[in-house]
Amino acid sequence: MERRVVITGLGMVSPLGIGNDENWKGLIAGRSGIGPITRFDAGGYPCRIAGELKGFNPEDWVSKKDVKKMDLFIHYAMAASDIALKDAAYSVAPSEADRVGVYIGSGIGGLPSIERQHATLLQEGPRRISPFFIVGLIVNMASGQVSIRYGAKGPNQASCTACATGTHAIGDAFEIIKRNDADVMIAGGCEGVVTPLCVGGFCAMRALSTRNDEPQKASRPFDKERDGFVIGEGAGIVILEELGHAERRGARIYAEIAGYGASGDAFHVSAPSEDGDGPVRVMRRAIQDAGVEPGAIDYINAHGTSTPQGDAVESRAIKTVFGERARKVAVSSTKSMTGHLLGGAGGLETAITALAVHRDMVPPTINYTTPDPDCDLDYVPNEARRMTVRYALNNSFGFGGTNAALVLKKYGS
């Protein structure tokens, strides 16, 4: 009999706030977390706005002596993991430590550390480089540090698949539990790269919005006036459990993971093919893995980055997968409020989707004011919607043509 996997804990830190309640309230209210960049002087940049995580003190989550040993993305992962485990009312017992794993990814990792230590090298020489430089920046150290803190001795892995990272991490963790290599997984994604080099790099690609005078209106997925994405930061972590394990301890269950899909475009390093072939195949695989027909999906948390090409291609792919029913499916992009967390996006958006399923409430796509003929679906414009959500699909697509999708199911339905 195939092992079933459920979500019992959520941990969210994002530009909307620190903690699940703060994030959910912001999402349902349609509040934007985007504002002017304060981390550095962005005066000479084409894009001068971002979704910064305000009010975050690493020492609230990491001991003072360890803060400098970890890059910011790890701080975010530690905070979100702590929130998620407390939300799940779960702690790792020594007797089952080898059945508890961690799978947390980051799309870029410790770029802030690289920038700082490179400056140190140039100004003070190699002897002044921190001995914690390497272990503080490599992508798998988010999983490593979480594993160490909580004594989780099961599979300890990381994904690095650009903007699909968090969803791949959760999907792969789901598979680990299904094949009986663990009973519990702490999984998700994190990112903290609102830095001069990262913002400058995306500006050079002309990928970012330049709506600097209206930062809260800059991220506008599927709207005709969209002009690029807005970089965000934070983390989203979920606690996955084998169903029997969760039931035996009386855990609250947000949703069941019913299906997972992964695909590759084999097309271009940053652009999707016009026909949306990769997104089409990944959605179909996730839905097929869930054992349902496309008609069962009530809600899609779209990748929806607010780029002109990406949003049009995703809309086209949804129409290919869902056919005549496509316009009856609620589709929203929460990146309209959080910005794009890159490797952290899939983790955050899976947590959001789980809440949508659990609470029968769908967050809106804000800043949707001018319809685009190429984007003609129901994007839940500007106001949250109460509706029954039995099955929901979460999409994530990344540079390199890497795609991931999850189907979440209402527990007990």
Residues designated catalytic: 163, 303, 340
Q: In which residue are the tokens 């993991």 written?
A: 81
Helix (H), strand (E) at residue 240: strand 234-242
CA angle at 332 for the pair 338 and 14, rounded to the nearest 5°: 15
Helices (H), 192-255: 196-204, 243-248
Q: In which residue are the tokens 């001995």 written?
A: 131
Q: Is 228 left (phi over 0), alpha (psi -120 to 50) or beta?
A: left
Residue from 108, 120, 101 nearest 187 by CA: 101
- Rounded distance between C-alpha atoms, residue 258 and residue 3, angstroms: 11
- Please tell me whether residue 208 adopts helix, strand or coil conformation: strand
Q: In which residue are the tokens 């989203």 written?
A: 236
Could you give the C-alpha distances from 246 to 89, 168, 185, 241, 242, in angstroms and in order? 11, 22, 12, 6, 6
- Rounded distance between C-alpha atoms, residue 35 and residue 15, angstroms: 9
- Rounded distance between C-alpha atoms, residue 108 and residue 197, angstroms: 12
- Rounded distance between C-alpha atoms, residue 246 and residue 5, angstroms: 9
Could you give the C-alpha distances from 277 to 162, 369, 372, in angstroms and in order? 19, 28, 21
- Please tell me whether residue 61 adopts helix, strand or coil conformation: coil
